[in-house]
Structure 1
Amino acid sequence: MKLYPFLFPLLVPMAAHSMDAGPSADDLALLATADVVIIGETHDNPAHHEVQAQIVAALQPAGLVLEMLAPEHVSVLTKDVQGFSEAWEEAGWPDYEMYLPIFTASNAEIFGAAVPRDVARASYTEGVAAHFDGDVALFGLDQPLPRDQQEQRLDLQFFAHCEAMPRVALGGMIEVQRLRDAMLAKVAIDALEHVGKPVVVITGNGHARTDWGVPATLQQAHTDIIVKSIGQAEDGNAPEGTFDLVYDAPSVDRPDPCETFK
């Protein structure tokens, strides 16, 4: 079985908060004011996907962007939504049945924003600016991150990799994260231009954070785009970063990801 780091939540201690299990009518009204709504998740938590499907059903977006879906697979998916599970799971993502209700909750046009693995690998060693398929300057990829943000990101990667890799060797992971943020932002803008608003983006919590994830990248590119972002917690432990809304769900039983480093 292949193990991919993006399937596991970051192993960073967090404080408990009181959060709702899902959106209220007021929350949905707030989200309806946005051009782009970004809904984070822990990938293997089915309750997070139920919330995503609920919001998609309520908003009935014009476009639906997914981190998990390769652009070349969109036509295959749309021709046979029910039968796409094998291709989905071959890509290493959790059970397709958790995601299926998101696809069937609306008639949104679907857009894939997955970064090919060979491109991600090249970005790890050569940097994001060399491999982003878009306007590097528009998304701020021609500039280094602020020092304090770079240090915070290194800390998060260090914890996410169970403190088993040298912290100084994890800079490439940050480049890949920036690449994925920029690709999601680029595809969200393409969707807005192609089908109109609202556009919903389905992605991991790390990409949904407003302080440096996809929302910040979108704002870097187009300050007039109205973005709302949702993080999803487990057992009251809020995901790292800032969000417009945060919902909570029970955690799921999962293997200890640090076992792979022992």
Structure 2
Amino acid sequence: MERFATLLLCLSVTSAAAEPLTDLNALAGADVVILGEVHDNPSHHLWQAEAMLSLAPSAVVFEMLSPDQAARITPEGLADPEMLADVIGWSDSGWPDFELYQPVFEALGEAAIFGAALPYGDVRAAVNDGAAALFSGDASVFGLDQPLPDDQQTLREAMQAEAHCNALPAALLPVMVEAQRLRDAGFAARVLEALEQTGGPVVLITGNGHARTDWAVPAMIALAAPDVAVLSIGQFESEPTEDVPFDLWRVTDPALREDPCAAFR
């Protein structure tokens, strides 16, 4: 359910200035490049791999990996996809089939690998205790000690409701937003750590929902490290009908998938 919620949040986009991506050269020059995705769309991962080969980043940060999983990856593992999937325990991770992400791993080159996934227990606890209480570090750096503006809180709760097929009790919606804020801050912190250690550029592989420039990872990096140049790309399955909260965007055919809300009917 969490993966499905992320998928639908990735597809829910609202207004901000953005341009269609027409040339991979547009990705050059940023310290951090965030490559968004709809998790189960193979075309999105193929393009991420193409973008990484063009960028030759010094580090790649994965939403899908914990720091421990990332530390298990070796050159030998990268050369053997079946071994790699087994070493990092991908089949138990809840993510779509490893074959979808295999092109991304094949495009790593010499890049250092960082895992950004937070402990599941911390994310669960943030639902009750709030993002600031569970963040490992100074929560104020990423704005977690401050409440969201009322209009943003309302919008994000509505998005959480839609992402969960409108099946969640209303009382759970604010705390789901807190869990999302914690993950955004955790990803931002890991990206900045990778940038400090390697000098960049750094690529973040993540869902569109975490790539939003208005409140997600790019906004948190801007708050914590305003001198860091960030470029965020969203990938969609249909042409946007209004401006979207990314610097650049691209459209692919939709992935074939069953209706994830069918179980609630």
The answer to whether the Cα contact below 8 Å between 2:8 and 2:162 also exists between their aligned partners in 1 is: no
Alignment of 1:45-64 (within 5 A): 45-64=41-60
Instruction: Show the counterpart of 2:84.
Output: 84
The answer to whether the Cα contact below 8 Å between 1:7 and 1:93 also exists between their aligned partners in 2 is: no
User: Number of residues paired by the alignment?
Assistant: 254
Q: Unmatched 5+ residue regions in structure 2?
A: none
Deviation at 1:47, TM superposition (A): 0.3
| CA 85–169 in structure 1, closer or farther in 2 if over 3 Å, else same | same
Instruction: Show the counterpart of 2:155.
Output: 152
- Confirm whether residue 115 of structure 1 aligns to residue 114 of structure 2: no
TM-score, normalization by structure 1? 0.90
Alignment of 1:156-167 (within 5 A): 156-167=159-170
Instruction: Show the counterpart of 2:39.
Output: 43
CA distance in structure 2 between the aligned counterparts of 1:14 and 1:242, rounded to whole angstroms: 6
Identify the range of structure 1 (161-170 vs 198-207) with the bigger mean alpha-carbon deviation: 161-170
Deviation at 1:84, TM superposition (A): 2.3
Amino acid corresponding to residue 9 of structure 1 in structure 2 = L
Deviation at 1:209, TM superposition (A): 0.7
Amino acid corresponding to residue 60 of structure 2 in structure 1 = L
CA distance in structure 2 between the aligned counterparts of 1:170 and 1:119, rounded to whole angstroms: 18
- Confirm whether residue 5 of structure 1 aligns to residue 7 of structure 2: no
Deviation at 1:169, TM superposition (A): 2.3
- Confirm whether residue 71 of structure 1 aligns to residue 60 of structure 2: no
Deviation at 1:116, TM superposition (A): 1.3
CA distance in structure 2 between the aligned counterparts of 1:77 and 1:6, rounded to whole angstroms: 28
Equivalent position SS for 2:57: coil
| CA 173–185 in structure 1, closer or farther in 2 if over 3 Å, else same | same
- Confirm whether residue 181 of structure 1 aligns to residue 184 of structure 2: yes
* Structure 1 residue runs of 4 or more that deviate by more than 6 Å after TM superposition: none
The answer to whether the Cα contact below 8 Å between 1:62 and 1:109 also exists between their aligned partners in 2 is: yes
Instruction: Show the counterpart of 2:205.
Output: 202
* CA RMSD after TM alignment: 2.2
The answer to whether the Cα contact below 8 Å between 2:5 and 2:164 also exists between their aligned partners in 1 is: no
TM-score, normalization by structure 2? 0.89
Select 2:214's aligned residue among 211, 218, 238: 211
CA distance in structure 1 between the aligned counterparts of 2:179 and 2:219, rounded to whole angstroms: 16
- Confirm whether residue 139 of structure 1 aligns to residue 135 of structure 2: no
CA distance in structure 2 between the aligned counterparts of 1:12 and 1:60, rounded to whole angstroms: 30
Identify the range of structure 1 (79-88 vs 29-38) with the bigger mean alpha-carbon deviation: 79-88
Q: Unmatched 5+ residue regions in structure 1?
A: none
Instruction: Show the counterpart of 1:100.
Output: 102
Q: Aligned residues: percent identity? A: 46
CA distance in structure 1 between the aligned counterparts of 2:2 and 2:193, rounded to whole angstroms: 31
Equivalent position SS for 1:77: coil
